[in-house]
Amino acid sequence: MIAHLVNTDIGGRGILSLYLDYRRRNFNFLRNAAEIILKNPEKVLVVTGFPIPPRNVPETDGPPGALAIAKAVERMGGRAEILSYPEVEAALGEFNVNFVRSPRPEDYSAIVAVETPGRGKDGKARSMSGIPVERDIFDWVFIEAKELGIPTIGIGDGGNEVGMGKIKDLVVKHIPKGELIASTVETDELITSAVSNWGAYGLVAQLSIETGENLLSGWDEREVVRALVRAGIIDGVSKRLEGSVDGIPMEIHEEMFKVLTSLIGFRL
């Protein structure tokens, strides 16, 4: 039910049909991803930040979800660090979270990507419209982690993110310009969602069910997005400095969150 909810394709970008195909291959992907965190909570790295061309400014989708995961890990007794861009650091600094600038993958028990660009077949990461990202990206962390055997999770909504390399054929099949933008970077588990923040909240919701504690209690997405906008972070669809995510008003995000937390309460 949680997986269905977070894949509600409000933006109409093709993620719902991709999700339905993917779920036939990996029905329990959300629970499997939660298991990675449950078994490896000691020191979790959460990577986020998608620079949007042409200005290559990070977007409001990704950092809120990354923060929610980091907070959940810490409530479970683990330690979490976030790797992102300086603008995102400046925005999230007020939320008492740990950042890292030059991580070594071998220092972590698990690594999670939330809306993080992944290089395509030509070595370039691209936006949904096919424009190359002209900024350093963090997909190398996951490439190295795979070589080291460190468990990884990818969360994405468009096919061009870290983790989507796991289902590249489905990205090509279902996503506009999929052949051009599809990420080749794989993760051990992949969470698809209509908005990457929703996928991150879905992961935390599943962790809540598994641990018997609502790890999303007290969460205020509007407050986090406001902090991002104050730091110059833009909506990735409108490309404007406004308090929305993926072109979707905050009211809709808040309603989605209410339904998600209701599902947690029903299961606890």
| Residue from 237, 232, 197 nearest 85 by CA | 232
Whole-number pLDDT of residue 268: 79
| Residue from 134, 139, 157, 127 nearest 18 by CA | 157
Q: How much is the average pLDDT of 95-112?
A: 97
What rounded mean pLDDT belongs to the chain? Answer: 96
For 151, residues 6+ apart whose C-beta sits below 8 A from its C-beta are: 36, 39, 40, 109, 110, 111, 145, 188, 189
* Number of domains the chain is built from: 1
In whole angstroms, give the CA distance from residue 137 to residue 118: 8
User: Model confidence over 15-39: pLDDT tens digits?
Assistant: 999 999 999 999 999 999 999 999 9
Domain CATH code at residue 258: 3.90.1640.20
Give the angle subtended at the CA of 245 by the CAs of 93 and 248, to the nearest 5°.
155
Domain of 127 in residue numbering reads as: 1-265
Residue 130 DSSP label: S
User: Model confidence over 216-249: pLDDT tens digits?
Assistant: 999 999 999 999 999 999 999 999 999 999 999 9
User: Model confidence over 140-166: pLDDT tens digits?
Assistant: 999 999 999 999 999 999 999 999 999
Whole-number pLDDT of residue 261: 94
User: Model confidence over 45-96: pLDDT tens digits?
Assistant: 999 999 999 999 999 999 999 999 999 999 999 999 999 999 999 999 999 9
**CB of 83 closer than 8 Å to CB of 259:** no
Q: How much is the average pLDDT of 106-124?
A: 98
